[in-house]
Amino acid sequence: MGNGEKYKMYSVALRKPIPTCSFAFNASSWHVHVYNGVYTSHRRQCRCASSSTRPSWLNTDLILSARISKAVATIAPQFIDDPVLVYMTNNSSKDQRLPLLHTVFEFMITAAVANKGTIYEAADWKSATVMVPPGKDVANPMTLISSGGLGFFANLGISGTVKTLYEFPREIGPHKTRVLGKRPFYYIFIVATVPEGRGRGLASKIIKQVLAIAQKEQRPAWLEASTEGSKCVYAKLGFKEVGTVVLGKGKCDATGLPMKGGPGIRLWPMVWEPLKKSQRE
């Protein structure tokens, strides 16, 4: 598809084109676009035109559930050895960790979508990214329970809950406040690519699409890199390190596993700033 060609709208479930202006309904609907091989979706509200105009195959709850399930299936296994996720779940064995990660990411992605987040995927779910738009927060208390928060925190346990709700934001927050102040920003929340999809620039293609939107709106973008490798990928896309955060110091080793007196794990908050008009000319 050429760069000048417009987005096409597809249904998530059937990948069939939706006739323009053929229907509108009062459930939360999914608008899905494909551009340069990257599918995106976001949730929006539509007013009901007529119940008879809604296609029988379009059930938004099923679409939403299927979309989140596919994202979880792509993302969760890629974080089995991620230091941050290992640390958050290190009260569980490695055999228990993958099922727990599915629970973790199902909640996290559901919470993101509940706050108008977008799920991107490329190459038939070989890569997936979850983005939260400016002014929205995954930790929004109004959506935590409805997104499955009670079950999530019960599975995570007291230790994991404290790390997630207290330690992580306590360490990241000062960097975010220092760099962004009160500016709204795009949050690139989760990025993952399956092994057979790596080396093809799939994640970079998705992130560039988000950054193009941020550039147009003159908004910064924010993420946290949890490995040296991901930090290098993001740096090539224009993200700058704004500090180093250490979690679990004295409690875990560099991989996130329990270790008394251990060095803890490192992650790197990073920011991308849009070019000003004068810089682009």
Which CATH number characterizes residue 86's domain? 3.40.630.30
CB 210 within 8 A of CB 131: yes
Q: What is the pLDDT of residue 213?
A: 97
Q: Evaluate whether residue 38 is within a structural domain.
A: no
Non-local CB neighbours of 203 within 8 Å, separated by 6+ positions: 122, 127, 129, 191, 192, 193, 233
Mean pLDDT across the chain = 83
Q: Evaluate whether residue 48 is within a structural domain.
A: no
Question: CB-hemisphere CA count at 13 Å for 248?
Answer: 29
Q: Evaluate whether residue 30 is within a structural domain.
A: no
The whole-model pTM stands at 0.81
CB 16 within 8 A of CB 10: yes
Q: Which of 83-87, 228-232, 276-280 is predicted with the least confidence, judged by mean pLDDT?
A: 276-280
> 27-39 burial string, b = 16+ CB within 10 Å, else e?
eebbbbbebeebb
Q: Evaluate whether residue 113 is within a structural domain.
A: yes
Looking at the structure of the chain, the number of domains it has is: 1
3-state secondary structure of 159: helix
Q: How confident is the model at residue 13 (pLDDT cuts 50, 70, 90)?
A: very low
DSSP symbol at 190: E
Q: Record the tokens describing residue 185, joined without a space.
A: 């920003």
Nearest to 197, CA basis, from 110, 129, 101:
129
In which residue are the tokens 């709106």 written?
A: 217
The pLDDT tens digits for 221-268 are 999 999 999 999 999 999 999 999 999 999 999 999 999 999 999 999
* Amino acid (one-letter) located at 85: L
CB 230 within 8 A of CB 270: no
Q: What is the pLDDT of residue 218?
A: 97
Please name the residue ranges forming H helices in the chain.
60-75, 83-88, 94-114, 141-144, 149-162, 168-180, 202-217, 228-236, 277-280
What residues does 38 pair with on adjacent strands? 35, 122
Q: What is the pLDDT of residue 62?
A: 79
Q: Evaluate whether residue 182 is within a structural domain.
A: yes
Non-local CB neighbours of 18 within 8 Å, separated by 6+ positions: 9, 10, 11
Q: Evaluate whether residue 34 is within a structural domain.
A: no
Q: What is the pLDDT of residue 20?
A: 28
Q: How confident is the model at residue 278 (pLDDT cuts 50, 70, 90)?
A: low
Q: Cα separation of 16 and 151, whole Å? A: 35
Q: Evaluate whether residue 195 is within a structural domain.
A: yes
Q: Evaluate whether residue 247 is within a structural domain.
A: yes
Q: Record the tokens describing residue 88, joined without a space.
A: 């958050």
Rounded percentage of the chain residues whose pLDDT exceeds 70: 77
Q: Cα separation of 223 and 234, whole Å? A: 9
Q: Record the tokens describing residue 41, joined without a space.
A: 């979706």
Selected residue with higher pLDDT from 145 and 29: 145
